[in-house]
Amino acid sequence: MELWQKVEGVSSMESLADFLQSASEDFRNNPEGWENRDLESFLEAMSAWISGSDAWYERFGLPQPPDEAWALVANAVMAASMYE
């Protein structure tokens, strides 16, 4: 299954953790398929996407995530910066 297809199955913290593990494996096995191959460019791209995400959700007819979802992302990035 392609990584893009796995996004559709994310509906809980557990499935998000599984997706992130799959993304890590995909990056390890297919780095040429990733535009942003270093942490700095990845985080910059993530910031840019989040800033324009309203258009993404509108274009694909998807509901906007609740505000708590954005806090989860921020907490995950912060915790991953120091989690072993």
Residue 65: CA atoms inside 13 Å, Cβ hemisphere, count?
13
| Domain of residue 44, residue span | 11-80
How many structural domains does the chain have? 1
Average of per-residue pLDDT across 6-18? 94
Q: Does some domain include residue 21?
A: yes
Q: Does some domain include residue 4?
A: no
* Structure confidence at residue 38 (pLDDT): 96
How far apart CA 42 and CA 47 sit, in angstroms, is 9
* Structure confidence at residue 84 (pLDDT): 83
Cβ atoms 3, 22 nearer than 8 A: yes
Beta strands in 18-65 (DSSP E): none
Mean per-residue pLDDT over the chain, rounded: 95
Q: Does some domain include residue 25?
A: yes
What phi-psi label fits residue 36: left (phi over 0), alpha (psi between -120 and 50 degrees) or beta? beta
How far apart CA 8 and CA 19 sit, in angstroms, is 10
* Structure confidence at residue 1 (pLDDT): 82
